[in-house]
Each structure stands twice: as C-alpha cells, then as structure tokens.
A and B are shown apart, each in its own frame.
Chain A
C-alpha cells in the first residue's frame, strides 16, 4: 500500500506539472484528470475510499467536463495555443516560481520540523461515520452548502445569459467621438 501511495503521489505531481506547462488547454485538462485520479488513489491509500469516489465523480467528472464544455463554446483555435506560448515566457514564470519555491521550502520545513508522533497504521474512516457526522453536528454546514449551490446555479444562470452588449451612454458618446 505504501508503494501505491508513492507511485500515486509521483503521478499526481508529474501530471500537475504537465497541466501547468501545457499550451493547449485540452491537453492541460487531460493531465488534470490524471492528476485528480492520482489524488483519488492517494485518498484511497489514506483510508478515505468514499472521498476517493467523490474526487473521481465530481472533480475528474463534473468540474473538468464543465470546463471542457466552456472551452468548446469559446471555440479555441491554433492561434490561441500560439498566443499561450507567447504568454508563457521564462521571464514570466521564473519570479513566481522562485517565490513559490520559497513558500514550499517553508511549508516543508514546518511539516518536517513539527514534532509529529510516529504514524501508526492507517485506519479507515468509512462513509458511515462521515455521514453520521455530516448530518449530526455539521447539519448547519450542509444546509449552508445547499444555499451556496443554489446561489451558484442562480448566479451562473444570471451571468451566463447572452445579453445584448450594453455600453453606458457616457462611453457610447466617447466611442462615437473617437
């Protein structure tokens, strides 16, 4: 099992690196699916099989598919890929990468330096306990999540509507003058 974890972790990191370096969005999304699947395996090794299932269904399934739909609607072409390549010059990414590396180093230091007791055997926390807790002490959170999702649906519908492009009258005058 330990080996499984390390292999899955390696796959996850690799595929994520691939995601962030792709120029073509569809390629990046395919790697993203791989990354999510690898993380799902990690969940499984950590004794959270239910979460692994959710990860596959929602992240790898729903969210990525949603993004792909949008990309299809936007009608990406080879030009866009080319432009993506122009945007991603080493000059652009070296600075942020260094900063993030510093941050990562600090996180690593925190994790390693923390006096954590030796890990025992992984004990699975199965879905039953999660469900009991979810609808017990966390019931308020569940309800809030419901509201959030509703708001998301309404918001997405409202924002996504194809409206006639409205320009404020002041801007209109200016563009007319220009």
Chain B
C-alpha cells in the first residue's frame, strides 16, 4: 500500500462529484432524482473527509465518514417516506407541484 496518491487529485475528485450532484439537484424536477443527487453530494463530502484523514494519518476523517453514512441512511429512509406521501397526495413526483405550502 505504500503508493503515492496526489491529495489534490483526490480532493478535486470530491469537488467534481459534489458539483455533479449539485447540478443534478438544480436541474431535476423529479423528487427521487433530487434525493439521488443529494446522496451523490453526501458521498462526495465523505470522500473529502477520507482524503483529509489519510493526509494526516488520523482516524477522525473515517469517523466523520461513518457519521455521514449514518446520516445519509436516516435521511434517505425519511426522505423516501416523504416521497411516498407526496406521491399519494399529489399523484406526481414533480417537486414544483408541491409549492402551495399548505398542509
């Protein structure tokens, strides 16, 4: 395992993945796609933490990744439940349809 991986390159990868996720959030109207995009962004953030942890040879980066993972799991389960509700109420997955802010 004694190889050299450029940290800049790894961080750039994280940045690019994050941006792709962000673009997707911005351009998609389908709520499920937005959820997927958020997962991509979370994953990219986790990658940045791992890179930092490796750079300093500390376990903290990996621990943050575990936390992010936990959070992502909880978020996706609640998010999917919400999506199911929205779909039942509105009969569509269009996020723009849910704009009347009334319960």
Which residues of A pack against B, CB within 8 Å? 1-2, 5-6, 9, 12-13, 16-17, 19-20, 25, 28-29, 32, 35-36, 39, 42-43, 45-48, 50-51, 54-55, 58-59, 62-63, 66-67, 70-71, 73-74, 80, 84, 87-88, 92-93, 96-97, 99-101, 103-104, 107-108, 111-112, 116, 119-125, 129-130, 132-134, 138, 141, 145, 148-149, 151-153, 155-160, 162, 165, 168, 171
5 additional contacts (CB under 8 A) given A96-B26, A125-B57: A9-B13, A20-B24, A73-B84, A99-B26, A151-B74
Which residues of B pack against A, CB within 8 Å? 1-13, 15-24, 26-30, 32-33, 35-37, 39-40, 43, 47, 50-51, 53-55, 57-63, 65-67, 69-78, 80-85, 87-89, 93-94, 102-103
Q: Which residue of B lies closest to A150 (CB)?
A: B74
Q: Are A67 and B76 in contact (CB under 8 A)?
A: yes
Given contacts A12-B17, A125-B53, contact A156 B1 (CB under 8 A): no
Give the residue of B36, B62, B81 whose beta carbon is less than 8 angstroms from that of A51. Answer: B62
Q: Are A156 and B80 in contact (CB under 8 A)?
A: yes
Q: Are A48 and B50 in contact (CB under 8 A)?
A: yes
Given contacts A125-B59, A130-B59, contact A9 B9 (CB under 8 A): yes
Q: Are A134 and B66 in contact (CB under 8 A)?
A: yes
Q: Which residue of B lies closest to A119 (CB)?
A: B7
Chain B residues, CB < 8 A from A124: 1
Q: How far is the CB of B47 from chain A (nearest CB, A)?
A: 6
Given contacts A35-B40, A42-B10, A165-B89, contact A2 B77 (CB under 8 A): no
CA gap between A112 and B40 in the complex, in Å: 23
Q: Are B19 and A100 in contact (CB under 8 A)?
A: yes
Q: How far is the CB of B90 from chain A (nearest CB, A)?
A: 11
Give the residue of B15, B36, B39, B54 whose beta carbon is less than 8 angstroms from that of A125. Answer: B54
Q: Which residue of A lies closest to B16 (CB)?
A: A13
Q: Are B21 and A5 in contact (CB under 8 A)?
A: no
CA gap between A50 and B1 in the complex, in Å: 14
Listed residue (B12, B35, B36) with the most chain A CB atoms within 10 angstroms of its CB: B36
Given contacts A70-B80, A93-B27, A133-B60, contact A2 B5 (CB under 8 A): yes
Q: Are A108 and B12 in contact (CB under 8 A)?
A: yes
CA gap between A121 and B67 in the complex, in Å: 27
Q: Which residue of B lies closest to A132 (CB)?
A: B59
Q: Are B50 and A43 in contact (CB under 8 A)?
A: yes
Chain B residues, CB < 8 A from A88: 27-28
Q: Which residue of B lies closest to A54 (CB)?
A: B69
Q: Which residue of B lies closest to A106 (CB)?
A: B15
Chain B residues, CB < 8 A from A47: 1, 54
